[in-house]
Structure 1
Amino acid sequence: MTVSTRDEELLARVREMRERGSAPKQIAKALGLRPAQATALVRRVAEAALANVAPDERPVVGCWVNAGWSAGLDLAEAPGWAAADPLGQEPDPDAGGFAQILLARQERASRVTVTGFLVDVCCLGVKNVTDPEVMGSGSLTTYASMYYSAFDHRPLPIDVEQAQTIVHDAVAYARGLGFEPADGFADAVVHLGAPPGDRPVIGFGRDGKPFYFSGPYDNPRRVVQILERTCGPGNYDYVAHL
């Protein structure tokens, strides 16, 4: 698309006025534009600014995790996270084991990028990722409802720093046991970003030991063999159909 010299000058003026905090109506009046013209120029300025921002530095529109994600984990260093997940504090040995995280970041004025991570917090780390997908902002609520439709409780809103800590530290825990994250993790984690340096330590596993519960697409025999080699007999638990 060809941009005229006048358009470039207008965009520059709009950019300067937005940086000073001017609203679209003020910009329209100052530059002799119709309100719709000013709004369109403001949108173009915002989109151009976002295009030069790394995916993990774009504004967070929403971030969630399933209720009960913390069941069985040691969150002594993160009492606030534990208190925000009352379902995870219930004495149910069958609960927990997975943290399903959904993150939405601003893509441009009316678009967001969503990325999902299914995290086995007891053993395997990131088991699955939802490839980054761009959608209209108005579709986010419906998408999030579908993403968590398998759960009986509504997801919990969390800070992106908590999501970064869960995902990255679960991956590190799983790697220590001999397991790599799922295919596509490298592309998805670009949108998540690195965790803060000053963060609480999560005690992964269950009762202080790795706990493997086999899924429908796992190779349980291979997983148990790896745990036997990396942890040693009696230093892990599992429930699997071998």
Structure 2
Amino acid sequence: MPRKQRNQNKKQQRALQKRTKRKQKLARKQTQAAVGINPRRLLRMARQMPIEGAWVQQGWQEQGVARVLIARTQPNDSIMFGEYIVDYFCTGIKDASYASNVNRETFSNEVIPRLYSGTPPLDIEPRLAQEVIWGAVEYAEGLGFDPHRNFREASRILDPAGTMPPSGSIDFGYQGIPLYIPAPDDNQVGIIRRLIEAVGLGNFYYLPRGDIPEEVAELLRVEQPEETPDSAIWTPELQQRSGAHTQSGLWIPGQQPEPVSETGQPEQSPIWTPGRS
């Protein structure tokens, strides 16, 4: 084949490759525009999207930790949602995540049941859901606790903090002071130290699950019982057997039982809760 013809063929091939690449690039952009597969770009636009709904687990007001879900409708009718694990008794946002481009049917039939372990959650007003989240953030920051690192991005699905005035229907802390209930992965020593620095001994509640870590016991000036029952609910009978003592003023397992009335029964319920004096 003559050299001139070979050169022409090469030029044609290069031109064809360029056209093919341009078409592929255009197709990718069109696909992204059609189905919205660019999560970060969508996240920046999230606050412009209408809110689809908000959910929280049943009984959340008695548990101290709320699993809040807020969803928005994307332009292509897919769902973007944020999930927030909120400790409104003490430490604020324990975890957060978000997802986008979720099929509406998948969101309703798979995502929600999975996040709430098969138990139907409660539909709540989006305003209330956001008040729980932002209120817990503010309360925890006042104690020296920052939100989980994932919250920075996941918070873009929420309206900005302070957008709506608080309703006053949600109480943060327990009976006016922090109540710390450790999560499995918590650095309990660090959290207790922070609470002592923020509010001082005697000004927060601590409800351990199982054994109290030795370093925590030292910080709280607690003498550990020889045997600790598995239950996180402590009764006067268990406390009498444990013989643990505290000088901190904190509510912890091991406090002395209620005075007994003339009938021989405790004057109040035998279940010990942080509010008992």
Same fold by TM (over 0.5)?
yes
8 Å CA contact 1:214, 1:220 repeated in 2: yes
Q: Which amino acid is the alignment partner of residue 130 of structure 2?
A: Q
Q: How many Å apart are 1:132 and its aligned residue?
A: 3.0
Equivalence for 1:181: 147
CA distance in 2, matches of 1:132, 1:169: 23
Superposition pairs for residues 1-242 of structure 1, below 5 Å?
A: 54-71=45-62, 96-141=63-108, 142-149=110-117, 153-194=119-160, 195-201=162-168, 202-240=170-208, 241-242=212-213
Q: Compute the displacement of 1:130 (Å).
A: 1.6
Residue 225 of structure 1, CA deviation: 0.7
Query: 1: distance between equivalents of 2:48 and 2:183?
Result: 34
Stretches of structure 2 lacking an aligned partner (at least 5 in a row)? 1-21, 24-32, 35-41, 214-277
Secondary structure of the 1:144 match is helix
Contact 2:70/2:82 (CA < 8 Å) preserved in 1? Answer: yes
CA shift for structure 1 position 160: 1.5
Q: Contact conserved, 1:114 with 1:134, CA < 8 A, in 2?
A: no
Partner of 2:273: none
Q: 1:200 Cα deviation (Å)?
A: 1.3
Runs of 4+ in 1 over 6 A off after TM superposition: none
| Aligned-pair CA distance for 1:62 | 2.1
Task: Check the 8 A contact 2:80/2:98 in 1, yes or no.
Answer: no
C-alpha distance in structure 2 between counterparts of 1:125 and 1:192, whole Å? 16
Stretch of structure 1 that moved more, 227-236 or 126-135: 126-135
Report the residue type matching 1:69 in the other structure.
W
Asked whether the 8 Å contact 1:116–1:129 carries over to 2, the reply is: yes
Deviation at 1:192, TM superposition (A): 1.1
Q: Larger radius of gyration, structure 1 or 2? A: 2
Helix, strand or coil for the counterpart of 1:108? coil
Q: CA RMSD in A?
A: 2.4
Q: TM-score, normalized by length of structure 2?
A: 0.57
Shift of 1:163: 1.4
Alpha-carbon distance in structure 2 between the residues aligned to 1:221 and 1:107: 43
Work out the number of aligned pairs and report it. 171
TM-score, scaled relative to structure 1: 0.65
Q: Which amino acid letter does the alignment assign opposite residue 208 of structure 1?
A: G
Amino acid corresponding to residue 78 of structure 2 in structure 1: R
* Structure 1 residue 110 displacement after superposition: 3.3
Q: Which residue of 2 aligns with 1:80?
A: none
Give the AA of the match of 1:182: H
Percent identical among aligned pairs is 29
Any gaps of 5 or more consecutive residues in structure 1?
Answer: 3-42, 45-50, 72-95
Alignment partners' CA distance in 1, 2:106 and 2:164? 34
